[in-house]
Amino acid sequence: MTRVRTFSLLFFVAVFVPLVAYAQQAATKDEITSAFVGKTATLGGYSGNQSATVTFGADGGFNYVVVHDTGSAMFGTGSTAGGRYVISDGQVCVTYTAGRNDSQCYAIRKNKDGSFSLNTPGHGYMALAFRQSPPAK
């Protein structure tokens, strides 16, 4: 019986752990820049009840708009926050200048399927669904 347990544990460590590690990795600065700059993404699942759009302007501007909120004590539908962002390996850091008055760094992970996830501290990773920003007028 002990051999079976030992084998099961070794199988789990040898097979499952590498799959989990491969499924999500810290994104490089180049990957984040290529995927984020000049684009808008939908961010879902914030606090389990909110969806928002986040725009990473080509000029370094950042904008966050709550699209739908069903009970968050922090933000309501239509709330906005804006500022400036800086990209480095594995993260995007935002200095907020409107709607909030603080700075926050968000860990960015690249998923196995090529999509990205953003970690909001205290809320875990949430998927980002990118779309091309409309052309400037």
pTM over 0.85: no
* Amino acid found at 56: F
Lowest-confidence segment of 4-8, 74-78, 112-116 by average pLDDT: 4-8
- For the chain, the structural domain boundaries read 24-132
Tell me if the domain spanning 24-132 has CATH number 2.40.128.640.
yes
Nearest to 118 by CA among 75, 56, 57, 67: 56
pLDDT digits (tens, 9 = 90+) for 67-110: 766 555 456 677 788 999 999 999 999 999 988 888 889 899 99
Question: Which two tokens mark 7?
Answer: 């084998």
